Copies of this chain bind each other. A is one copy, B any other.
Amino acid sequence: MQLNTTPQRTITVSAPATIANLVCGFDILGLCLNHPADEMQVTLTDKSAIHISSTDGYALPYEASENTAGAPLLEMKKLLPEQTGFDIVIKKNIKPGSGIGSSAASAAGAVVAANHLLGNPFTREEMIQFALFGEKAASGVKHADNVAPCIYGGITLIRSIFPLDIISLSAPPLWVTVVHPQIEVRTSDARQILKKQVLLKDAIKQWGNIAGLVAGFLQNDYGLISRSLEDVIIEPVRSILIPGFAEVKKLSIGAGALGGGISGSGPSVFMLSTDEETAHRVKDQMQKVYEGIGLDHFVYVTSINTQGVKLINH
């Protein structure tokens, strides 16, 4: 590969959180958030190695092949001149295991930063293909519903993974309230409790809702978005892993939220609202529930990030 590298050897990027499994859009719809976001500093070196360090206390794997930022760059390196290496310094603001795309942010951030330093030789689709190796390192599964919105920004539809087919969906302004109750839900457990078969009548209901949700986004129809935010297949099974889920959902909708559900495979729960004021009322209700249960939690009020990974000092 011929590279047209920029004179710049170091770049800092902001790699945002994302919400996958958007209610009825299990495995196919993801959304990018403005907050929280990891900060990553990536430096191009001629040492032919990938070196990873962090500025916070999280126990990340520092072996590149096992690290969600390292694995994608190892894959990218196969196409680069031998003496190309990267130093990565990660400030992890998105807590691993929270269900808001922590591993995807590291993977997408590393790939976008490296691509920039190399003079942008790769397309967005190719960047996603690399980033998927980070998801595989993290969970064993190459799922794109976090890395796609993290790189594209906004709301993305992953129509197909093999071959990769990603479609950006426009949407009206949406505010997002996310609560992260401090319990662990392992992705592997969340996958295992799903039934391998579903009733055809439930599947039909689900594809009516997913069609309605996509139409609601593209037609800027809040009412249709709200009516379509219903999941009759995954949520009834997985929500039992999340204490307070039913109460959070009921009170959030009572406070004016359009609807919402489990973020990724949990434990975070998200709700969509039309405006910031409502999103804050939803936050109050979420806090009330977890204070009542006595469970530690973080709550974020944020909006849709239409840009995805941002280059900071360039």
Contacts and interface: CB of A to CB of B under 8 A. Distances in A.
Interface stretch (A53-61, A70-78, A109-117, A197-205): A197-205
A205 B233 CA distance: 14
Given A157-B212, A212-B165, A207 B206 contact: yes
A104 B125 CA distance: 44
A314 interface: no
Given A203-B203, A212-B167, A228 B194 contact: no
A29 interface: yes
Contacts of A228: 159
A233 B207 CA distance: 12
Interface in A195-238: 195-201, 203-215, 218-219, 224, 227-228, 233
A159 B211 contact: yes
Nearest to A159: B212
In the complex this chain forms, how many copies of it are found? Answer: 2
Contacts of A147: none
A25 interface: yes
Nearest to A24: B207
Interface residues of A, number: 40
A212 B159 CA distance: 6
A8 interface: no
B215 A157 contact: yes
Contacts of A204: 26-28
A246 B106 CA distance: 45
Contacts of A165: 212, 227
A203 B210 CA distance: 12
A158 interface: yes
A33 B228 CA distance: 28
Among A167, A201, A224, chain B packs the most CB atoms within 10 A around the CB of A167
A311 interface: no
A200 B198 contact: yes
Contacts of A213: 211
A302 to B, nearest CB: 24
Nearest to A223: B165
A28 B209 CA distance: 10
A206 B203 contact: yes
A160 interface: yes
Contacts of A211: 25, 28-29, 157, 159, 210-211, 213-214
5 contacts: A159-B211, A167-B219, A169-B215, A207-B207, A210-B210
- Nearest 6 A/B pairs, CB to CB: A159-B212, A203-B203, A218-B218, A197-B197, A28-B208, A207-B210
Given A167-B215, A167-B219, A218-B219, 11 more contacts: A26-B207, A28-B207, A159-B212, A160-B227, A167-B224, A169-B215, A197-B197, A200-B233, A203-B206, A210-B211, A211-B214
